[in-house]
Amino acid sequence: MRRKLIAGNWKMNGSVSANASLLAEISAGGVDVAKADVLVCPPFPYLTQALDKVQGTAIAVGAQDCSVHDAGAYTSEVSAAMLRDVGCTYVILGHSERRSYHAESDQIVAAKTLQALRAGLTPIVCVGETLEQRESGATDAVVGAQLKAVLEKLDSAEIAKIVVAYEPVWAIGTGKTATPEMAQEVHAFLRQVIASFNAEAAATVKILYGGSMKPDNAAELLRQTDIDGGLIGGAALKANDFLAIIAAV
Ligand code: PGA
């Protein structure tokens, strides 16, 4: 049985005071550790603040990106080792906003995944199709290629350590959600792709759904056989919504 993971992707939102309130409210909400693993991913400057605030709770902290490089003259970049050094345990990689606004290729996402794993972080590898790709029937081909590009670079043990997030681009921040059936279909396909590399890992690797997951649609999505949690944007910025999604597990 795969344990669910509810992850908040804060994107470029927050401030010292807003984060303090949000984290205090989430902690006070009494996150039910028996139900799910819970993760928040604030912007880089607030990682240590978040790590400090969640101390003594079951909430984990992750980043939203890392460098492909180990260290050195790479102005503005943050290495996976630095994230681990401050106490992060996860990192989101290959989010569609990185792929489209920063031209991140599958190769870059694969290189970052290796960096994360070598630093001891759990990478959350995001894949997803655009509306045009879905309408032309290319969903499986697109997400399959995105995932394979990463899996090809990993050994069997490394494959077992990743988390995958299926995030249809057309559902991110749009209020449009894939129906539970649509999402389940893609999740089952992604699990087959993992199985073609490592059958054992396919049974344990978590595949999260992301794209306008909200309190009112979370339960149905999370009930699907191959949906092992959520990567939540907008609703992760409201404590009540985030707690309600955790409670929906
Ligand atoms: P959303 O974002 O929940 O606001 O659609 C999800 C994501 O981009 O991870």
Tell me the pLDDT band of 34, cut-offs 50, 70 and 90.
Answer: confident
Q: How far apart are CA 209 and CA 232, in angstroms?
A: 8
Q: Is the distance from the beta carbon of residue 232 to the nearest atom of ligand 1 less than 6 Å?
A: yes
How far does residue 95's CA lie from ligand 1's centre (Å)?
10
Neighbours of 138 (CB within 10 A): 15
Q: Which residues have CB under 8 Å from 203's CB, separation 6+?
A: none
Q: What is the mean pLDDT of residues 235-247?
A: 96
Say what the pLDDT of residue 224 is. Answer: 97
Tell me the pLDDT band of 31, cut-offs 50, 70 and 90.
Answer: confident
pLDDT in tens, 40-80: 999 999 999 999 999 999 999 999 999 999 999 999 999 99
Say what the pLDDT of residue 173 is. Answer: 84
- Write out the two tokens for 81: 């080792």
Q: In 3-state terms, what secondary structure has residue 49?
A: helix
Proportion of the chain above pLDDT 70, given as a percent: 100
Mean pLDDT over the full length of the chain: 96
Say what the pLDDT of residue 175 is. Answer: 83
Catalytic residue among 95, 104, 129, 187: 95
Known catalytic residue at 167: yes
Q: How far apart are CA 68 and CA 114, in angstroms?
A: 8
Q: Is the distance from the beta carbon of residue 213 to the nearest atom of ligand 1 less than 6 Å?
A: yes
Q: Is the distance from the beta carbon of residue 41 to the nearest atom of ligand 1 less than 6 Å?
A: no
Q: What is the mean pLDDT of residues 170-199?
A: 94
Kindly tell me if the per-residue pLDDT of 14 is higher than 90: yes
- Write out the two tokens for 62: 């992750």
- Of 130, 208, 231, the one to substitute when testing ligand 1's pocket (max ligand atoms within 8 A of C-beta) is 231
Q: Is the distance from the beta carbon of residue 173 to the nearest atom of ligand 1 less than 6 Å?
A: yes
Known catalytic residue at 152: no
Kindly tell me if the per-residue pLDDT of 169 is higher than 80: yes
Q: What is the mean pLDDT of residues 178-195?
A: 97
pLDDT in tens, 194-213: 999 999 999 999 999 999 99
Rounded CA Rg of the chain? 17
Say what the pLDDT of residue 96 is. Answer: 97
pLDDT in tens, 150-162: 999 999 999 999 9
Q: What is the DSSP letter of 38?
A: E
